Amino acid sequence: MAMNEVVKLSKKDRQDRILTELRVSTTIRISDLAAELGVSYETIRRDLEEMGQSGLINRTYGGAVVRPFGFEPAWNERFNAMTEERERIAATAAGLVEPREVLMIDAGSTTLHFARRLAAEAKNLTIVTNCFAVAMAFSTNPTITVLSCPGQYDSHEGSVTGPDTISYLSRFNANRAVIGSSGITLEGPNDVSSNAAAIKRAMLARSQEHILLIDHSKFELPNLEVVCPLTEIHRVVTDQAPPPELESALAKARVEILY
């Protein structure tokens, strides 16, 4: 083989190589990647589109940058994205709730869709939440009691976090914890914020059943902190089947998948 001949890589190996290059140089252009990997401009463009859709990178004009693991848009921006998918998730999850149950609901765009659907359909519930928008969603239903957590306000998430929040949550027992996450991998659900991850863990610890609401765009998406292993989740409510490897891992962990 000639010294300048490029070994042809599989798509997975090629995309792993792209990620490695981005982590070294932060930004890179499609033309440079195509030349380095010995494939066409269109092949690299398709790779970047696929990696962008899965959340591994952020696309730029003519190239890409590594997606930061510690950032996501504010909750109100996320709430207006993928509304059809999240409404389906909310409707499925709301059907799991029985009258007179106690629910812990954390902050997030998908959990807010769930809260609004539950407020319209359910009766005689007690809600414990750290999210102001979730608490307000239930104000339209006089049969639902809302207990709002104290703590340090996070305007980016529209919620409270911190030791006061965790201490307050530890006082209650709940039938179900309903949480969202920034992503989910074979390691488990994850979050861009350590403070938010701590709240999720506190809710899971005080609840009999653990329900994760997550749309398909967050499948196989790594972020800053793993919340818990897959084995600590009882049900995942989503809008479509997870990729085969993740679906197999969820099945092995005995997690019920609803979509």
**Residue 90: both structure tokens together:** 């909310």
Question: Model-level pTM greater than 0.85?
Answer: no
Residue (of 78, 67, 61, 65) closest to 27 by Cα position: 65
Consecutive H or E run containing 29 = strand 27-29
Segment 124-129 long-range contacts (CB within 8 Å, at least 24 positions apart): 124/99, 124/100, 125/97, 125/99, 125/100, 125/101, 126/101, 126/102, 127/102, 127/103, 128/102, 128/103, 128/104, 128/169, 128/172, 128/174, 128/203, 129/104, 129/105
* Exposure on the CB side of residue 26, measured as CA atoms within 13 A: 0
What was the pLDDT predicted at 1? 39
Collapsed DSSP state (helix, strand, coil) of residue 152: strand
Check residue 66 and give its pLDDT: 56
The tens digit of pLDDT for each residue in 41-52 reads 889 888 888 887
- List 103's β-bridge partners, or say none: 127, 176
pLDDT classification of 64: cutoffs 50, 70, 90: low
211, 78, 136, 142 alpha-carbon torsion, rounded to 10° = -50
Q: Does residue 150 surpass a pLDDT of 80?
A: yes
The rounded mean pLDDT for the chain is 88
pLDDT in tens, 82-105: 789 999 999 999 999 999 999 999
Domains, in order of start, for the chain: 11-66 (1.10.10.10), 75-258 (3.40.50.1360)
Residue 157 vs residue 104, higher pLDDT:
104
Of the two residues 96 and 8, the one the predictor is more confident about is 96
- Flag the least confident range among 22-31, 167-176, 219-228: 22-31
